[in-house]
Structure formats: C-alpha cells, structure tokens
Amino acid sequence: MKTYRVAILGCRSRGTAAARAYHAHPRTEVVGLCDLKSDLTEALGREVGNPPRFTDLDEMIRGTGPDLVAIPTGTEFHHDLCLRVLGHGVHIEVEKPICVDLGQADEVLAKARAKGVRVAVHHQGRVGHPMQAILRAIRSGRIGPVRYITASGKGYYGGYGLMNIGTHLLNNIIGLAGHCRGVTALALTAGRPIAPGDVVQSPSGMGTIAGERITATLHFDGGVTANLLQHRLPKVDNTAYGLEVLGHEGRLFWKSGGAWWLPTPHFVPETGEGPWQPLESPAPDSYDAGTKAQVDDYAFVDDYVKALDEGREHACSGAEATHVLEIMMGVFESAAYGRRVDLPQTRRDHPLLRWRAEAGLPPPPSAPRGYTEWLAAEDRRLGRT
C-alpha cells in the first residue's frame, strides 16, 4: 500500500487544515512546507512531523519529490501556482474556487492532461460524512425521486458569497442532481437590478463580482430544479448556511455539521407531522477524532488516496470544480443580461467584464482585500454612511 508524499504550498489557515489532514491520514506523509513567511512554516512544521521548510516552491518540489502538492492559497494566485506546480508533473489539490474565470481553469486542466496528472479542488463538504449520509438516504429511496433543492449562504455580500461559500453549495448540488443545464438569475444592488457600474473587484482576491443579493434558479435533467440564495444579511450568519432536498416522499437537510430526514414531503408545523430525524453519518473508518484534523478535510484526503490508488478522478475533481465555476459565471451572465444562460458555455471570458466593457466602462478599480474594509468601501460607493 503506497504512502503518498504531500507538500503544502501556503501555510495559513487553510494550509494548516490541509497539513493536519494529510498528517493524520495513515496513507499520506507531509514531506515539505512552503510559505514566504518562515514563522508560519516553523509553527506548522512542529505539528506535522517537522518536514523541511521552504520559501520557494520549485526548490521544495525538487528537494522533496512529492506525489501531490496542496495549494491552499488565495484565489488570485491559483492559476499561476497551479501551472507552475503542474509543470513538475505532480498531482495537485487547490483551494476553492479553482480560478477566477473559466479561461484560467481551462488552462489548468489542459496542463494537467498534458502532464498525465490529476487535479482536485477542496470542496470538502461533498465528500464529508453529512453529505454522504444525504446520498445514502436518497439512494435507499427514503425521500423518493428528488425534485427540488434549495441552498443558502452565510449572509456575505451576494457576489462574494457566490464565489466563496456558493462554490461549496454548488458542488454539493451537482453531486446530488448531476450537471447543470441552464441558469436564470436575478442580482440586486441597493434594492435594484445590477448595472454595469455595480461590477466590482471581489474581496479576498476572488476576481470580479456584482450583486448584493443574488437569487439563482438552476435547471437539471429529469425535471430537477434548484435555487441558490446568496443574500447579503445585516451580519454574517452561519445558521443561514445549509441545503435542503425535497423528494416526492420526504425531505433531507444538510449542514456541514450534520444531516437530517423528514419523512413527509410537506410539513406544516401546526399538525405536528414528521419531526426532523438525524441521519447517522459516520466518519471514515481510519479517522481518529483525537487528532487536530477536521473530519471533512480528512474525508477529502481519504478520497484522494482512494482515487490515486484506483486511477480515477477525485469526487471533487478539477472538471467538477470547473463546472461549478461555469455555473457561477452563468449566474453573473444571466443577472447582467437578463436572460437564461445555457450550459456548457462556449464563451470562457468573464461575463461581467464583458458587460462592463460593452457599456464603455474600463475594468473596475482595485479594492481592499479584507472583507470588512471592502464592505465599508462598497457602502461608501453606494452612498451609505
């Protein structure tokens, strides 16, 4: 049984989570850490077996010979870093979303194909134990055929929430319903439909966005539809985050911490019918709750080990992540142009930049990277105190 050698490129919060999961798994070994800040690699290294530390990724790969490199960095760096790492002919996993636009994502997947290696994107919720419990319940017929899915974010500014939390929700949705065939969306800023001047640069380096409140309807094969809500709320609210699946005979509810079943498709609280029942959602057999590894991050690693063993793609492959990005670009395009967008898309440029250019406007100016500062600047742009 092969032990896969893993190097971590970026040792901030998501890099720490990735390193802990790879360190905890019995089939993976952390063999190198790389970050421009040596204090981060020193602190993390003491947790994960004291592997060599580096400030240059090429030096790390040449010096450690990894099978896989994790790239848990800001989105704006994904394209260049992925291409650079793939050039060494090693497998990668990259933080979500895969890139800021479809053209970049296409280049990453093409490079991986040329090198004969695999790309996975860190949508850990899709392989986590609560979503696996949802899938088992659907396959066993507990709610009958799926007809509708609804999902909501945490209350971030809509366009940012779409690129940040929406990517997880969409990956979960396509894991349940298959690939999306079309998107219809409405995006509002200051209570009105977005205009080209509302196209702005995202915080956290996630590219170009628009819309404080986004409501999207997704169309799938078999008559299945889904709604995705990314609405700015007065404050970020984790209790707003979740996904519900409606079948002909019951309902299921997912959050990152659990899964529940309602054995009736229509629930009216006054009748007292069908209280929600928790679903059993065990962690992977090899998971040790005594480690610092988060269980869903561990499940992501576990699926990558099995995928590499079996010569298959990760459940959260680069192709799946690119389809998620395609849906998000479809949401922006539909909201901008006021029409349904069919998928897959033939145009791979960013629809909001295209829309803004068609209105005679230059690309949006730079904006603060931190979300709090960004939100204050956006409120000032909208004339709010």
Residue whose C-alpha is closest to residue 241's, from 130, 151, 310, 320: 151
Per-residue pLDDT at 344: 93
Compute the mean pLDDT over every residue in the chain, rounded to the nearest whole number: 96
Strand partners, 182: 219, 342
Residue 46: exposure state from Cβ atoms within 10 A (0-12, 13-18, ≥19) = exposed
| Average pLDDT for 70-92 | 98
What average pLDDT score do residues 13-19 get?
97
pLDDT at 109: 98
**pLDDT score, position 354:** 98
Looking at residues 233-243, what average pLDDT do you find?
A: 94
What is the share, in percent, of the chain residues with pLDDT greater than 90?
Answer: 94
Kindly report, residue by residue over 109-126, the tens digit of the pLDDT.
Answer: 999 999 999 999 999 999
Other CB atoms closer than 10 Å to residue 344's CB: what's the count? 12
More confident residue, 10 or 257: 10
**Would the pLDDT of 54 be above 70?**
yes
Give me the pLDDT at residue 271, please: 59
For 170-184, what is each residue's pLDDT tens digit? Answer: 999 999 999 999 999
Out of 39-48, 269-278, 354-363, pick the least confident.
Answer: 269-278
Cα–Cα distance list, 64 to 46, 87, 93, 154 (Å): 18, 15, 17, 39
What pLDDT does residue 273 have?
A: 58
* Statement: residue 35 has pLDDT above 80: yes
Identify the structural domains of the chain with CATH numbers, from first to last: 4-124+293-315 (3.40.50.720), 125-279+316-385 (3.30.360.10)
C-alpha to C-alpha distance for 192 and 41, rounded to whole angstroms: 46
- Of 28-42, 129-143, 262-276, 301-315, minimum mean pLDDT range: 262-276
Residue 7 has pLDDT above 90, yes or no: yes
Structure confidence by residue, pLDDT tens digits, 267-298: 766 655 568 899 998 899 999 999 999 999 99
Question: Which residue shows structure tokens 């933080």?
Answer: 95
What average pLDDT does range 68-79 have in this prediction? 98
pTM for the model stands at: 0.96
Q: What is the mean pLDDT of residues 183-187?
A: 98
Model confidence at 247: pLDDT above 90: yes
